[in-house]
Structure 1
Amino acid sequence: MEQISILYSLAMVGLVWYFAMWSIGLLGCFAARRRYRSRPRSPLSVAEPASVPGVSILRPLKGLDTNLYENLESTFKQEYPTFEIVFSVADEGDQALPIVRELISKYPNINADVIVGEEVVGVNPKVNNLIRSYRQATNDILWVLDSNVLVDPGTLARSVDALVGSSSSPTRKNIALVHHVPFAFVNESQLGSRIEEAFLNTNHAKMYIAINTVAVESCVVGKSNLYRRSDIERLNGSLKRRNDQAGGEDAQSEYGLHVFGRFLAEDNMIASALWHELGQRHDLSCDVAHNVVGNMSLSDYIWRRVRWIRVRKHMVLAATILEPFTESVMLSVIAASSLSVLLGFPPWIFLALHFTLWLLVDLDVYASLAGHSLPKESAYGFIIAWAAREILAFPIWLLAIFGDEVVWRGKKYQVLRDGEVRHSSSSGWLASCSKWFRKGKDLHDYERIESPTDIRLDM
């Protein structure tokens, strides 16, 4: 009897957990509907230049990312009265430079510049690339955009609205950072590219939006972030509430962007520092960051997921350990077993209902972000990629959880406490596996999308 009682108790816990995860997923779905299905034009887009805060758009570059020309050109087309663009590359031989210079010549009325040469302040190459443009920027508000991101013309105006518009409300904390959920777009037939697209546009977006709707903790992806330099200059990366009093430990700390050069996920750490050190909050605008995915093989996709799981493990261990139990496959096993024990419900019927409903919710999230339903001609391939993502989630997590080395942009790092990294020179099993698996074209091969209007830019 005692064993039966324990079994029933576990089954009840399993069902409670299952419905809790469904609640989070539905929250993300409904929040996506509310936020992204209407993108009104901001009044700042037609305001007088003197009446709006200036913005410096920082775009660090390395090599020829897929669709690079259109990605960078989208920043020149922003409907905002006063902004500048500062591009940065590490060396004069970078292949992105001719494209940048062509765009600067094409848009002579836009205040744009390019900085050549990095300043090494840590192991993170993106921070090293950014630091000089960060210091040169003439405005306090900075918009940092990855090179593989394309944005709609109204994005900047709506983002500034979100950043400064809430500060006058006495009932809300100040917004220190505005970010955008990634929405993947692919023009490749590679399996890894398709799985990445399915992941970012469904499960990732759903959970990302839900967590930011609840807003109990920082959760930010650094594809497209808007924040104030004056706030960054008050951060030291400790994630401890800042003591503004003179003296003490704070007086011995360094502050500013350069202190985040020791982290691999500098974007997440900056967001967390704004949250914890300054006690400020984040907001999502109603725009997405069109993440143009390049030629990604299946092994590229797997090792990309492994990399970020290993980084998260050292930043939020408990959440990373629980991650498999939030995925559809594991949840279906838990709930099917629980219902079988409690009600004798046939598992195969439950599994069919579970995955059908889970897919429908994910497709609804896709429709909210895209502004249209999944096209019929690509539905079959998308659903196959979606199913592959769900099936691979647990094996990838197992591969990632037992290890601390990652490969990023051809360099190997060891992940340390709190997500800090150091260069690794070992030639262990990770390097061997990665070398064996990685074949095919370089991820940074440049390919222009033939019909960029298919992304449905809001004009």
Structure 2
Amino acid sequence: MHALRAALFLCIPIGLVRVAESNDFASHIAHVLCVGLAGICAALAALGIGYTWLAGEFVRRFFARACAQPSSFPGVTLVKPLCGDEWNLEHNLVSFFEQDYPGPVQFVFGVHDPADVALATVERLRAQYPHAQVSVVIDSRLYGPNRKIGNLVNMLEHAEHDVLCFADSDVTVERSYLRHVVGALQGPGVGLVTCVYRGLCAPGWWPRFSAAATNYHFLPGVVTGLAIGRARPCFGQTIAMERTMLERIGGLTQFAHHLAEDHAIGDAVRRTGATVAIPPFTVRHACVETSFAKFVAHELRWSRTIRAVDRAGHLGSVLMHPIPFAMLAVLMSEGAAWAWVLAGIALVARLALKWRSDNAVQQTHRGIWLLPMWDALSFGIYVASFFSSRVEWRGFRFEVDEEGLLSPAHEESAQ
């Protein structure tokens, strides 16, 4: 229903253009509206082009910095919540076992269900790395609708080291990951370290769209927000802090009702006066949406999460869509030459951002010809995110209130 409302909203310009082609009084009104909307869309496209060029430069500067190196190598507990046999799970976990880190590392894996098939992967890794310190926690206790928080709270009872690193099971890291995270955590005034991420595609068509949304909308948006002092992010893919900081903010149980528990944890750390450090490297997040429906559901959840925790930032992200606004200007101006020129400039700007982003993270240039289609889909999802506060997460549906808190969704009754 909400997707239908968004589609109808996007069809309004087409309807106005068709009305404007008639010869009655309504055509004059429609023409005036078309001219006005064409100007608004052109202005948003122009602002988006400016944003896009700036974002490319900010991305280049961010990843040109050097990562901090640790002055010592304290013991680290890697806390890994698991749920099911995810794509690439064993490869993801192996990347954490293969760290170039001389300090002691404890691995704590947690599941809610003793029959969880992810446990078989952990047992294979135990055999493959017999000298690794591995603990497995099977505990069904929940403290709210956020099941991940419940899993983390249960695992923390078994953590032995003072540096705690929470990392999702669908994340792959480089061998230098722990060095760079610990180095950043040892910086003056740092209370928490988190990492930006880029997409790692599962086989198939739709994972490529999901990765493109991550790499060419999310990543430049975060880096730009950091550069202008607007963004205050914290990403659940990686959160590292010392045990004393976790105790200082009151533990994790308090976040069991949050949709964006990572954002709430970052805010709690900042309220202590400490900073959240984001080192200049990426981890890789698995993009596994194998159908259009799954892709839309995932992207809507992400967009509505941003809307719940940062409404101004979500509204401002309209500037990430210069190509759709330029094409709307073409439509509303009935194909005016100036609108086509604007659309061409918008396309060049987006291609340049993709090229610079790929270079910054040393990623192969692929799928350039798909960029306009990626942008069109992302714009449609952005518009749809305003029409509902409902999200789907791990097979469960929730409503999100204005504070970003979760409650079970009640299905609409049939009319």
Same fold (TM over 0.5): yes
The equivalent residue for 1:126 is: 148
**Unmatched 5+ residue regions in structure 2?**
1-31
Q: 1:198 touches 1:385 (CA, 8 Å); kept in 2?
A: no
Determine if the alignment matches structure 1 residue 140 to structure 2 residue 162: yes
- Written as runs of structure 1 = structure 2, the 5 A alignment for 1:176-325 is 176-190=191-205, 192-235=206-249, 255-275=250-270, 277-325=271-319
- Which of 342, 356, 381 is residue 350 of structure 1 equivalent to? 342
The equivalent residue for 1:150 is: 172
- Paired residue secondary structure (1:113): strand
Determine if the alignment matches structure 1 residue 399 to structure 2 residue 384: yes
CA offsets, 1:394-415, max 9 Å, x none?
3223322122222111111111
Determine if the alignment matches structure 1 residue 411 to structure 2 residue 396: yes
Amino acid at match of 2:283: A
Q: 2:87 touches 2:202 (CA, 8 Å); kept in 1?
A: no
Distance 1:372 1:399 in 2: 30
The equivalent residue for 2:118 is: 96
CA offsets, 1:288-310, max 9 Å, x none?
11112225211111111212222
Aligned length: 378
Q: CA deviation at 1:219?
A: 1.8
Q: CA deviation at 1:200?
A: 1.1
The equivalent residue for 1:366 is: 358
- Compute the RMSD of aligned alpha carbons: 3.0
**Unmatched 5+ residue regions in structure 1?**
168-173, 236-254, 433-459
Q: TM-score, normalised by structure 1?
A: 0.74
Q: CA deviation at 1:372?
A: 4.2
CA offsets, 1:5-64, max 9 Å, x none?
xx99x969975x666655544444234334435767x754xx8xxx42221111100001
Determine if the alignment matches structure 1 residue 36 to structure 2 residue 63: yes
Post-superposition, which runs of at least 4 consecutive aligned residues in structure 1 deviate over 4 A?
Answer: 10-15, 17-24, 37-40, 333-337
- Paired residue secondary structure (1:304): helix
Change in CA separation of 1:414 and 1:227 when aligned onto 2, cut-off 3 Å: same
Q: CA deviation at 1:389?
A: 2.2
Distance 2:382 2:293 in 1: 14
Distance 1:211 1:55 in 2: 30
The sequence identity of aligned pairs, in percent, is 23
- Which of 92, 105, 110 is residue 127 of structure 2 equivalent to? 105
Q: 1:122 touches 1:261 (CA, 8 Å); kept in 2?
A: yes
Distance 1:73 1:345 in 2: 55
CA offsets, 1:221-250, max 9 Å, x none?
221222223223233xxxxxxxxxxxxxxx
Q: 1:87 touches 1:113 (CA, 8 Å); kept in 2?
A: yes
Q: CA deviation at 1:182?
A: 1.4
Q: CA deviation at 1:368?
A: 1.4
- Paired residue secondary structure (2:200): strand
The equivalent residue for 1:52 is: 73
Change in CA separation of 1:319 and 1:39 when aligned onto 2, cut-off 3 Å: closer
Change in CA separation of 1:428 and 1:206 when aligned onto 2, cut-off 3 Å: farther
Change in CA separation of 1:335 and 1:146 when aligned onto 2, cut-off 3 Å: same
Q: 2:41 touches 2:325 (CA, 8 Å); kept in 1?
A: no
Amino acid at match of 2:190: I
The equivalent residue for 2:11 is: none
Q: 2:195 touches 2:279 (CA, 8 Å); kept in 1?
A: yes
Q: 1:158 touches 1:286 (CA, 8 Å); kept in 2?
A: no
Change in CA separation of 1:367 and 1:416 when aligned onto 2, cut-off 3 Å: same
Q: 1:179 touches 1:221 (CA, 8 Å); kept in 2?
A: yes
CA offsets, 1:333-355, max 9 Å, x none?
69889xx9xxx972212211221
